[in-house]
Amino acid sequence: QSVLTQPPSVSGAPGQRVTISCTGSSSNIGAAYDVHWYQQLPGTAPKLLIYGNNNRPSGVPDRFSGSKSGTSASLAITGLQAEDEADYYCQSYDSSLNAHVVFGGGTKLTVL
């Protein structure tokens, strides 16, 4: 069981908008620790997509955006493209006794 909860899968047609949620608690997202998002294409290493809740590294299209509210965060992808099909992970810090850096369980995005 991951400290951060993500839906196992989401899907959308090309051109549509999809969102991926990342639900935490008062010891991580709710404690105002930053949330980061990663994209992992099949057979490759993860790539940083969003850092500090809503910031895009250079080179990441503005179709990708992040937001945070309360104990949850979301990744939104607009204008869905076939090459967006990948696994997506959220990451944060947890201040509880036995946790440090925590990842969500990952969400598989399927482009229909």
Partner 1 sequence: EVQLLESGGGLVQRGGSLRLSCVPFGFTFSTYAMSWVRQAPGKGLEWVSSISGSGGNTYYADSVKGRFTISRDNSKNTLYLQMNSLRAEDTAVYYCAKNRGTFPLYSSLSDWGQGTLVTVSS
Chain residues in the site for partner 1 (CB under 8 A): 2, 33-34, 36, 38, 40, 45-48, 51-52, 57, 87, 89, 91, 93, 98-106
Cβ nearer to partner 1, comparing 14 with 61: 61
Contact assessment for residue 38 and residue 47, using Cβ atoms and an 8 Å cutoff: yes
Which residue spans within 1-112 are E strands per DSSP?
Answer: 9-12, 18-23, 36-40, 47-50, 64-69, 72-77, 86-93, 101-103, 107-111
Shortest Cβ 27–partner 1 spacing (Å): 13
Cβ nearer to partner 1, comparing 52 with 79: 52
Shortest Cβ 103–partner 1 spacing (Å): 5
- Residue 99: Cβ within 10 Å count: 13
